[in-house]
A and B are shown apart, each in its own frame.
Chain A
Amino acid sequence: TQLLEQSPQFLSIQEGENLTVYCNSSSVFSSLQWYRQEPGEGPVLLVTVVTGGEVKKLKRLTFQFGDARKDSSLHITAAQPGDTGLYLCAGDTNAGGTSYGKLTFGQGTILTVHP
């Protein structure tokens, strides 16, 4: 069974602070996704990382995929109240070299940014 451990589970910070969320596994993933989910809604894709060591930036969000493709991190600079939500990492299992999109999700990090 492939597991993704996210930390921390809860994060409560003030507007303007920086934060990092971690996603770790003992398994290798062909790709890793980060999603953001608001209460009562479905997850919305933020980014996909595919190559070991890859770094992607999305405005104030920076995503990194570990060299061994077993871990990832999400860093938010100068957090804003609008960043509040559940952040989920998800790893793509790779069957025979062809991805078919079956994802293993972490348990999520609940981020609250106070004005």
Chain B
Amino acid sequence: DTGVSQDPRHKITKRGQNVTFRCDPISEHNRLYWYRQTLGQGPEFLTYFQNEAQLEKSRLLSDRFSAERPKGSFSTLEIQRTEQGDSAMYLCASSSGQVSPGELFFGEGSRLTVL
């Protein structure tokens, strides 16, 4: 069973460095989502792709953040000039759009620590 996979699982970086996370969704899923979760909170929506098109971006996604899904399969989330406030778990999820609405399949997340 191939679920949503994310890489790396953990990343520790110094403030000001750039980081990139990768997400491989479930193969037949055309929708891909990025969420961010900080300690003690539920996940917050960042952005959403349908195939290769990025259809919505949250206001949480500042200009230091960029997400791509160039071939409609895997996606990358890059954070430039990281700040300590970027420390969080970055969750990727996918859905087919054919199942009941709102049912997302999440990966295990990429935990970012900015020192």
Contacts and interface: CB of A to CB of B under 8 A. Distances in A.
Given A6-B42, A42-B4, 10 more contacts: A32-B102, A40-B109, A40-B111, A92-B101, A94-B101, A100-B56, A103-B45, A105-B42, A108-B41, A108-B42
B85 interface: no
B27 to A, nearest CB: 18
Interface residues of B, number: 28
A99 interface: yes
A31 B108 CA distance: 24
B45 A42 contact: no
B74 interface: no
22 contacts: A4-B42, A30-B101, A31-B101, A31-B102, A35-B106, A40-B109, A42-B4, A42-B107, A43-B43, A43-B106, A44-B106, A45-B104, A92-B101, A100-B31, A100-B97, A101-B103, A102-B56, A104-B45, A106-B42, A107-B41, A108-B40, A108-B42
Interface of A: 4, 6, 30-33, 35, 40-45, 48, 50, 88, 90-92, 94, 99-108
B81 to A, nearest CB: 27
A74 to B, nearest CB: 14
B56 to A, nearest CB: 7
A113 to B, nearest CB: 20
Contact of A88 (B42, B45, B93, B109): B42
